Copies of this chain bind each other. A is one copy, B any other.
Amino acid sequence: MALRHAVLAALLDEELSGYQLAKAFDLGVANFWHAQPQQLYVELARLEKEGLITGREVVQDNRPNKRLFRVTEAGLAELERFTSSAPRPSFIRDDLVVMVQAADHVDPAELIRQLGERAVFARAKIDLFDRLLHAMRGERSEADFLRTGTRVGPYLTCLRGLAFERGNLEWCERSVSVLREREHRA
């Protein structure tokens, strides 16, 4: 029971179609959760059936019609209930970290390569998050925006995503330099 609330939270500020939601959740632009398009269409159908969201058909020329969803009163109440319940603790679950755990028993050159690839990916996400944050706060300073802006929730979650990717990047760089130096000695 977790994706439903992520979807509700994503639909709070704007009406979105399944396709639009999917793009956000798939690319991880919605840095607070991740899901495949298929899962979203299923979840949207369920949420609508339960009355937590409503969809309206939008007819388009030259491209397929789409359905835009927004959160209902019942949906908002469900979110309110969710935010009062105990969140489960969050854990790292990352293939790459498992690989590094085995570092002393596998080919270091492979690991260095993998860590390098992840670093590239992390840098791209950091750039993306920087741009998103700037777009949200406009010309205001961050401190000013967080004090007086109208929507700070998405900004705060984006800050978490940014810090997470910075953590990834630093750890990759550190690990590569450690493994490189040990290769030289060996």
Contact = CB atoms under 8 A, between A and B. Distances in A.
A147 interface: yes
Q: Which DSSP category, helix, strand, loop or mixed, fits chain A's interface?
A: helix
Interface residues of A, number: 70
30 contacts: A2-B95, A5-B99, A9-B98, A9-B99, A9-B102, A12-B104, A32-B92, A33-B98, A34-B93, A79-B102, A83-B99, A83-B102, A83-B106, A87-B95, A90-B94, A90-B96, A90-B97, A92-B161, A97-B160, A100-B153, A101-B157, A103-B153, A104-B150, A104-B153, A105-B153, A146-B178, A152-B178, A160-B171, A164-B164, A167-B167
Interface of A: 2, 5-6, 8-10, 12-13, 28, 31-34, 76, 79-80, 82-84, 87-107, 110-111, 114, 118, 121, 146-148, 150-154, 156-157, 159-161, 163-164, 167-168, 170-171, 174-175, 178, 181-182, 185
